[in-house]
Structure 1
Amino acid sequence: MLHDGATIEAGARALHPDWRDGDTLIAALDENARTHGTTVAIRERDRGIWQEWTWGQYRDLVLEQAAGFEAAGLKAGDIVLVIGDNRANLYVAMLAVIALRAVPSPAYSEVAPEELAGQIRREGIRFAIAEDQEQVDKLLVVREGVPELATIAYDDPRGLKGREPPGVVALEALLAKGRERLTREPALRDDLLKRAGVHDVAVLLHSSGTTGAPKGIPLKHGHVLSGVRNAAAAGYFREGEVHMAYLPMAWVGDFLFSLAAAITLRFVVAIPERQETAQHDLREIAPTIYFSSPRAWSNMLTRVQVGMEESTWLKRGLFEHFVPFAVELERRRLEGREPSALKRLRWQIGRLLVFGPLLDQLGLSRVERPYTAGEAIGEDVFLFFRALGLNLRQFYGQTENCALAVAQGAGDLQLHTVGRPFPGIEVRIDETGEILMRGDNVFDGYHGDEAASAKALDRGWLRTGDAGQVEPDGQIVVLGRVSEVVHTASGTRYIPTYIENRLKFSPYIRDVCVVGRGRPSLAAIVCIDFEAVGHFAQENAVSYTSYADLSQKPEVYDLVERTIATLNKRLPDGLAITRFVNLHKEFDPDDGEVTRTRKLKRDVIDAHYAPIVEALYAGAGEIAFEARVAYETGAEGVLKRDLALRTVGVGRAAA
């Protein structure tokens, strides 16, 4: 259990003396219901129609659901699994769990049953909340090996209502029981509103698990509220934002945006009908704040470029005339050179004819605070969206500090930095070059892992695990993971993620793993972006039948080689990528090669592709690679692929 007595409570109070009793998400939700009860809090698209709930209705649903959960046996300190895509009822259920001083522990919706079983065992979970029949079926499989999972509550009734297996119950049924309890027990309402405390854990999130099983990261009410208020003080959030909830519920960003910030600052949270319709629904939602990963921004740019190539000659001509001009204008502005009045007028004409209509088509016409985080964003992508008039900015943080720690300012950002710390956040660089942070948003330690906690926290300072530096003007530069600093055979120091992120600036490269530890030079295992490279193939009359076939086309190798050769010119001496292979498949989280957030698991990749790496350094021109595959039936097989290996600067791309 995460709530384990007066000793821990006293220690927490000493650690966070400025936290106020009663300062919780539930109290903030109640305040919104009392002062803005008829204002819309949540909108969700269902079968094409937008359903709405006011703050008053939101609070009442949370209390009814909490009363129903308690009647079903949920107790303070219990950890509750939550799995599914973004749904209003799942957010209500998470807050109901929090009101009972229990702890929601969200999992990624596509997580495999064996990973789910590991989470359930580690956290002693006996109560789960699932979105639909697909997730319930997965949990029933898990329950065969983990019988402690006694209760599974579901949201979507399709395929389940009236045919529930033992231990499976509808959220709607528990809600009805809770409503009856509140009618019979008038005092229960106020009791539920006041149970949670500022030092209670509000959510149990998880590390990416790149080097082993994911670690549980408990974030208390005080942590998340401090993070939101620090961000608001820095101008990162404002009251009354319109936010689209489409990020994975297991990711810290969704909890902070869709629940913590939304409740604290009264956002209108709009939920798309499905993940597949998110981009379509975005235009109807027209958010004022929008966060997306660098990969998603890059994909959006690719869609724009593809759309322009297939557009009319007039639209294509206007795009090609105004966009390069606006990009160069933005580049000069970031260098401190303000445009002349004539250039500003030309940009305004471009906004009227091109930029405004394009942003409206993308659903970004009302966005005032667009953000990106998670990894470095390509300079071309960053400048493109800023050139359109979006004040796109990067932020930097980890789950351990509520992901709200450092962000670029609205008016003084630089391309190579992630910005300055928010008010309330202290940052320093230790003698090894690691970035350390301190503030009330920094967590107090991992769940059930004292050794990992002691390693991560040093007298109140969070060791971020990232190498970095502070510029003279106070802006932070992030270089990469400290643990990933490696050396070539000559002793040249490099950080693979730094190089990999810059290769992924290309729309044609989805993933890449750079190898070279103890080797004479660097090599790369490349996973092409199927959509972008597929479009390239279509435009250049390159026929193909599958991802594997496309990846091995000489024209595609030329394309990737040009990207690598361009980056090589900017890398320090001794760090050029000399050899590469286009893999026949993408790195797959189900194969253990990447995490659910697509961070590389290098030890797994090293093991899976050891023959390819050896062939790269042996100078071979191709390899017959045998890949093990797992089928849905559980059977395993072997696929043989002939993969080309290329030396950079020798192929046709360098001619």
Structure 2
Amino acid sequence: MQSIPALLARNAKTYASSPAFREKEFGIWQTLTWADVAENVEALALGLLNLGINRGDFIAIIGRNRPSLYWSMVAVQSVGAIPVPLYNDANAEEMAYVLEHCGARMAITGDQEQVDKVIEIQEGLTKFEHMIYLDPRGLRKYDHKRLHAFSHVMEQGRAAYDELKRELEKRTAELNYDSTCVMLYTSGTTGKPKGVVLSNRNIIESSKASSEFDNLTVDDEVLAYLPMAWVGDFIFSIGQAFWTGFCVNCPESPETMMTDLREIGPTYYFAPPRIFETQLTNVMIRMEDAGKFKQWLFHTCMALAKRVGPSILDGKEVSALDKFKYGLGNFLIYGPLKNTLGFSRVRVGYTAGEAIGPEIFEFYRSLGINLKQLYGQTEASVFITQQPDGEVRNDTVGVPSPGVEIRIADSGEVFYRSPGVFVEYLNNPESTADTKDAEGWVATGDAGFIETKSGHLRIIDRAKDVGKMASGAMFAPKFVENKLKFYPNILEAVVFGAGREMCTAFINIDLTAVGNWAERNNIAYASYQELAGHPQVLETIRAHVTEVNRSVAEDEMLSGCQIHRFLVLHKELDADDGEMTRTRKVRRRIVEEKFNDLITALYDGSDEIFTRTEVTYEDGRKGAISATLKILDVDVQPTSAKVAAE
């Protein structure tokens, strides 16, 4: 079992009639068994051979989560080529960089939108030859000289079975643990994305160890809705799915994801913090619209859940009376709420990608949802640490995953070594050497420490972002930002303060939550910008920041990170404007450069600042928006300067 195609062959025999993939189309779930998947992969692989795909060719996969695109990655591997998933919401310029960097010969795309993007850039791609599309709608009149229908390629593959079967078997048999399984590009938080080459050893060993860690079986169900270009989705929907044989469910569309989540009721679930934050925001919005009795009942039950829910989940001692009350709360509130969220059957849930706010994390665990944190990277094939059942905490990311070694450098940076460590960065030996040393130790770029008693790893922040304030106090912006994002009204926050006398912040409001408040209070607004500058909204955000300062003041190590002044940005930070990555991580350095005038105003005592910002519209056109932003002061809590500095 040294390749993904080999695992597929095993599953087609062992779990032939078990569901492998489900896809919702036109409102109906369609199920395919492992035997079906094996037949489809073989037909597509033969079709790729018929198109002249060679060993070592790079084949881009672009589109939303669909079984056919997952099969495509396995078919590409089967012929000895290398799949390169791309973010389907990436613009043409971003796609051009990746396709040219890896020298892609072909792209397998989902629909007309992706085809149009590639057509826009293909003349500038030196090695690009063919494109295959899955959904034919809108493409009938396109030039099909180098454009092929997915179904037609499979038909040609079946027709060439006798001619090409032996060649396919030969190429598949050549695959081993050292063969490249996939190449995934980093999000490019600090620069151009790097192509991370991952071998079959990396993917299969990581999938095996992590599946055994959480006792995943063929009976588990997952929902595949995260970007296919992200390493987590590849591990969950390909690596672990093919290792254990569980079923991968693909929603009909991003708009129906929550409905599809409730219908499937996955037993194994992953979401980045932003998804959990959004779901919590929606819950709080609905409660604000409820009657007074329902609000009282909800808050009363949630207070009990916060106090005893995590202990009950971990099997710890809880009084009989509290167990009875919690059971009643489960009947009235927690159970229906979990069902609404689609979490009724979740046995193992994970969040990662960035730190989740402690309050958000505890909210879900108090409902009885076994939500845990993991710490990982693309270069690690995801897993560096995981939280064992019964040892789940909101302030750590767990213990080393099976087979992983961790050490902390004198600088505080976290290093790891494991079977999942990537092979190299494509065409970038300098970055490979800077990241991975001769002994296989990889620098994470994160600062943290291992607790002596528990052995758990605590991540403080990105190493490059952790610094000192002018007073000598530690500066860790993510710690404060995550606390701010607990509030439903706050979508994003960026905190500044390294080398300065005080901390300040940019804040993005959540248009859904704040818009709901505005409607309930008969406040008219015409745009995000207008609502973000409303006096009552600003005062509400000030109250949230004040509460966060009280919480930050209680942490001896980071009490100096209280926010003194803030402003609410006139636009949402956007990946299309380069301010965030496609995985929704803030590009802090770009934000600092782009909004330097606003940062200056936060520190020079100004009460307001006029600014003009270039933006990118959905159709790719450029424009600009102007605004005069109010700058607000916030009360800070007294702290011991000595303690803060230490």
Judge same fold: TM > 0.5, yes or no: yes
Determine which of 130, 148, 163 is the counterpart of 1:151.
130
RMSD: 2.0
The residue number in structure 1 matching 2:380 is 401
Determine which of 199, 208, 213 is the counterpart of 1:234.
213
**Per the alignment, do residues 619 and 272 of structure 1 end up closer, same or farther by CA in structure 2, a change over 3 Å counting?**
same
Query: Does the CA-based 8 Å contact 1:227-1:405 persist in structure 2?
Result: no
**What count of residue pairs does the alignment treat as equivalent?**
629
Please say if 1:95 is aligned against 2:74: yes
Distance in structure 2 (CA, Å) of the matches to 1:231 and 1:304: 31
Please say if 1:478 is aligned against 2:459: yes
Larger displacement relative to structure 2 (209-218 or 601-610): 601-610
User: Deviations along 1:92-115, whole A, 9 cap, x unmatched?
Assistant: 111111111211111111111111
**Per the alignment, do residues 186 and 526 of structure 1 end up closer, same or farther by CA in structure 2, a change over 3 Å counting?**
closer
- Which runs of 5 or more structure 2 residues have no equivalent in the other structure? 637-646
Distance in structure 2 (CA, Å) of the matches to 1:529 and 1:505: 11
Q: What SS does the aligned partner of 2:464 have?
A: helix
Distance in structure 2 (CA, Å) of the matches to 1:510 and 1:461: 36
Distance in structure 2 (CA, Å) of the matches to 1:189 and 1:453: 33
Please say if 1:253 is aligned against 2:232: yes
User: Deviations along 1:276-300, whole A, 9 cap, x unmatched?
Assistant: 1111111111111111111111211
Distance in structure 2 (CA, Å) of the matches to 1:378 and 1:576: 16
Q: How much has 1:195 moved relative to structure 2?
A: 3.2
Distance in structure 1 (CA, Å) of the matches to 2:310 and 2:265: 27
**Per the alignment, do residues 490 and 202 of structure 1 end up closer, same or farther by CA in structure 2, a change over 3 Å counting?**
same
Determine which of 631, 642, 645 is the counterpart of 1:645.
631
Distance in structure 1 (CA, Å) of the matches to 2:80 and 2:431: 25
User: Deviations along 1:415-435, whole A, 9 cap, x unmatched?
Assistant: 211111122111111211111
Please say if 1:464 is aligned against 2:444: yes
Query: Does the CA-based 8 Å contact 1:427-1:437 persist in structure 2?
Result: yes
The residue number in structure 2 matching 1:136 is 115
Distance in structure 2 (CA, Å) of the matches to 1:95 and 1:335: 39
Q: What SS does the aligned partner of 1:643 have?
A: strand
The residue number in structure 1 matching 2:496 is 515
**Per the alignment, do residues 273 and 646 of structure 1 end up closer, same or farther by CA in structure 2, a change over 3 Å counting?**
same
Distance in structure 1 (CA, Å) of the matches to 2:26 and 2:154: 23
Q: For residue 310 of structure 1, what is the amino acid of its counterpart?
A: D
User: Deviations along 1:358-409, whole A, 9 cap, x unmatched?
Assistant: 2222221111111111122222222222122111111111111111221112
Q: How much has 1:497 moved relative to structure 2?
A: 2.3
Determine which of 501, 517, 521 is the counterpart of 1:536.
517
Q: How much has 1:37 moved relative to structure 2?
A: 1.1
- With normalisation by structure 2, the TM-score equals 0.93
Distance in structure 2 (CA, Å) of the matches to 1:317 and 1:644: 36
Larger displacement relative to structure 2 (614-623 or 147-156): 147-156
Q: For residue 284 of structure 1, what is the amino acid of its counterpart?
A: E
Q: Using the aligned pairs only, state the percent identity.
A: 38
Q: How much has 1:631 moved relative to structure 2?
A: 4.8
Pairing of 1:383-402 with structure 2 (within 5 A): 383-402=362-381
**Per the alignment, do residues 333 and 561 of structure 1 end up closer, same or farther by CA in structure 2, a change over 3 Å counting?**
farther
Larger displacement relative to structure 2 (155-164 or 109-118): 155-164
Query: Does the CA-based 8 Å contact 2:92-2:120 persist in structure 1?
Result: yes
Determine which of 62, 81, 95 is the counterpart of 1:83.
62
Please say if 1:46 is aligned against 2:32: no
The residue number in structure 1 matching 2:476 is 495
Distance in structure 1 (CA, Å) of the matches to 2:174 and 2:154: 19
The residue number in structure 2 matching 1:589 is 575
User: Deviations along 1:460-517, whole A, 9 cap, x unmatched?
Assistant: 1111111111112111111111121233333433122232222222222211221223
The residue number in structure 2 matching 1:12 is none
- Which runs of 5 or more structure 1 residues have no equivalent in the other structure? 1-21, 651-655
- With normalisation by structure 1, the TM-score equals 0.92
Please say if 1:71 is aligned against 2:57: no
Pairing of 1:105-120 with structure 2 (within 5 A): 105-120=84-99
Pairing of 1:421-436 with structure 2 (within 5 A): 421-436=400-415
The residue number in structure 1 matching 2:261 is 282
Q: What SS does the aligned partner of 1:535 have?
A: helix
Please say if 1:62 is aligned against 2:32: no
The residue number in structure 2 matching 1:653 is none
Distance in structure 2 (CA, Å) of the matches to 1:378 and 1:26: 39
Query: Does the CA-based 8 Å contact 1:215-1:447 persist in structure 2?
Result: yes
Determine which of 508, 516, 520 is the counterpart of 1:527.
508
Distance in structure 2 (CA, Å) of the matches to 1:336 and 1:97: 46
Q: How much has 1:144 moved relative to structure 2?
A: 3.2
Query: Does the CA-based 8 Å contact 1:66-1:96 persist in structure 2?
Result: yes
Distance in structure 1 (CA, Å) of the matches to 2:198 and 2:133: 25
Larger displacement relative to structure 2 (559-568 or 342-351): 559-568
The residue number in structure 1 matching 2:531 is 550
Q: How much has 1:335 moved relative to structure 2?
A: 11
Query: Does the CA-based 8 Å contact 2:310-2:368 persist in structure 1?
Result: no
Distance in structure 2 (CA, Å) of the matches to 1:636 and 1:393: 41
The residue number in structure 2 matching 1:4 is none
Q: What SS does the aligned partner of 2:612 have?
A: strand
Please say if 1:307 is aligned against 2:286: yes
The residue number in structure 2 matching 1:452 is 431
The residue number in structure 1 matching 2:204 is 225
Q: How much has 1:312 moved relative to structure 2?
A: 5.5
Query: Does the CA-based 8 Å contact 1:63-1:192 persist in structure 2?
Result: no
Q: What SS does the aligned partner of 1:27 have?
A: helix
**Per the alignment, do residues 128 and 388 of structure 1 end up closer, same or farther by CA in structure 2, a change over 3 Å counting?**
same
The residue number in structure 2 matching 1:360 is 339
Distance in structure 2 (CA, Å) of the matches to 1:628 and 1:411: 49
Query: Does the CA-based 8 Å contact 1:334-1:414 persist in structure 2?
Result: no
Q: For residue 544 of structure 1, what is the amino acid of its counterpart?
A: Y
Pairing of 1:263-342 with structure 2 (within 5 A): 263-311=242-290, 315-330=294-309, 338-342=317-321
Query: Does the CA-based 8 Å contact 1:100-1:196 persist in structure 2?
Result: no
Q: For residue 473 of structure 2, what is the amino acid of its counterpart?
A: T
Distance in structure 1 (CA, Å) of the matches to 2:294 and 2:170: 61
Distance in structure 2 (CA, Å) of the matches to 1:233 and 1:567: 39
